Amino acid sequence: MSSNANASPQTAREYLRVSRDKSGRERSPDEQHADHVVVGAERGWALGAAYRDIGSASKYAVKARAGFDQLVADLETDCFGAELLILWEGSRGSRRTNEWVRLIELCEDRHVRIFIFTYERVFDPANPYDRADLLELAIKSELASAETSKRTRRAAAATAAAGRPAGRCPYGYRRRYDPVTRKFEAQEEEPQEAAVVRELFSRLHAGHSLRSIAMDFEERGIRTRSGRFFSSQHLRSLALMPAYAGIRVHDPGRESGHTLSPDAKFTDAVWPALVDRLVFLAVKRRLTDPARVTTRPGRGVHLLSMIGLCDPCGGPLAAVRMREGQEYRCHRKSCVRIGYAELNTFVEAAVVAYISRPENLAWLTARDDDEELLAARRQVAEIRSELDDLADQVGAGRLSASLAARAEPGIRARLNAAEAREAELATPAPLRDLIGADMDPVERWQNAPMSARREVVKLLFSPELIGQLRVLRSPTRGHHCPVSERVRWDRKGQ
Ligand SMILES: [Zn+2]
């Protein structure tokens, strides 16, 4: 395939994003564009509008990927409007192999060829050999990014595979070294810090908000190693550290912070876990649940807002302040209105009645080690090892990179599903804390902060348990009607 075969001028569009060349030097989008202008002039290409991303190719950096998403969307909707796509460095078209495969397929469908500057070569995705090369590039780049500085990376990987610690010693632990050789001996609990970590997890698990924990820690004078108070953000980042569950993460592809790359590897750590792995997963799920981020402000103030439902329209209830006090009202269309204190009292009575019945508690605690959960955990472990195998086989040259690129997204999707299932089954978290051995659950409920109570209500008022709380229209307009006659429980199988 010759890139000069076509005599008429071709239109080319660039996708620009910060990249590093082989020497590790960073090349900014503007510098890349300058390179493209030169090569475009040489080859007689007219450069159309460029797609540009400021940040990383990481799959989690949503805002940093607007340009890439636009590129894919334009290809999908036939709005790309050029014969050539220019990438400065091919391997980083996308760091996610499956996205890269998708991009190649789209280009093939739309008869768009791909020019890669650092290779000085046009690839035609419709040509099976070019296509194989493109797929190969994606895999090689994944390997390359894990080997940026080979020796240190290899050492880090070996350390990780053995579950030994690296980097800063996390809060909650201390490291012991041989006094003579200075060789690492062990990472062990730092008792005072470890107690703080444990408390953090158990409270998050019970539904306490990060903010209420941070405020409480501050009141009690609990400080970070550098002598500051813990912010909510800091506590959140601690709660997302797999180290506390005794999991060693090796993730050379990680950009920054706690967001892991898809290539992260997990091994059992040599240090002791501070929290149960299931607790860790449940907390992580809660903190990273996208639904939480979009929850309306004011959450955690009213027991039932956004949890109770309007029966006529199915919309959520919200607390509204009135001159004569507060009320809950259908948030969508004001179909229903009901006394605030009355409904709260009614609901609290329902919760207390539920949790004071031993058979309910027995059922909820019994879930903890049931067969389904054990099976889900086994499945997660199996799929993880499948992924590891795949990487090993490519590394050892036993599996072609392009085959691996095709297999990987599927395995990844199965892993996500299995992990979600595992977390799901392990979840009755807010309740488990209420059910602790040494205190009466009703007493615990009464002592729990509003954020924790809301978690309990959310869980209990599910269609599988007490049922969804739906508020009916008042049968007699203007006349007072007792709450008990205006509430319907929407239960599964009813
Ligand atoms: Zn309504």
pLDDT at position 427, please? 47
Give the Å distance between the CA of 332 and the centre of ligand 1: 6
pLDDT at position 91, please? 57
For residue 225, which phi and psi values (nearest 5 degrees)? Answer: -60, -30
Give the Å distance between the CA of 478 and the centre of ligand 1: 18
pLDDT at position 198, please? 96
pLDDT at position 208, please? 85
Residue 200's nearest CA partner among 184, 188, 211 is 211
Is residue 331 exposed (0-12), middle (13-18) or buried (19+ Cβ within 10 Å)?
Answer: buried
pLDDT at position 21, please? 52
Give, as one character, the DSSP assignment of residue 28: -
pLDDT at position 368, please? 46
CA 18 – CA 251 distance, rounded (Å): 20
Give the Å distance between the CA of 314 and the centre of ligand 1: 6
pLDDT at position 419, please? 76
pLDDT at position 225, please? 82
pLDDT at position 4, please? 43
- CB neighbours (10 Å) of residue 494? 8
Give the Å distance between the CA of 334 and the centre of ligand 1: 6
Give the Å distance between the CA of 310 and the centre of ligand 1: 5
Farthest-apart Cα atoms in the chain, separation? 85
pLDDT in tens, 291-322: 554 333 334 578 898 889 999 999 899 888 88
Distance set, CA 490 to CA 337, 351, 359, 461, 471 (Å):
19, 15, 21, 9, 10
Give the Å distance between the CA of 300 and the centre of ligand 1: 22
pLDDT in tens, 369-381: 556 667 777 777 7
Whole-model pTM? 0.37
Q: Which two tokens stand for residue 75?
A: 């290809």
pLDDT at position 54, please? 66
Query: Residues in the chain with pLDDT < 50?
Result: 1-7, 57-62, 148-149, 293-299, 366-368, 427, 437
Give the Å distance between the CA of 474 and the centre of ligand 1: 13
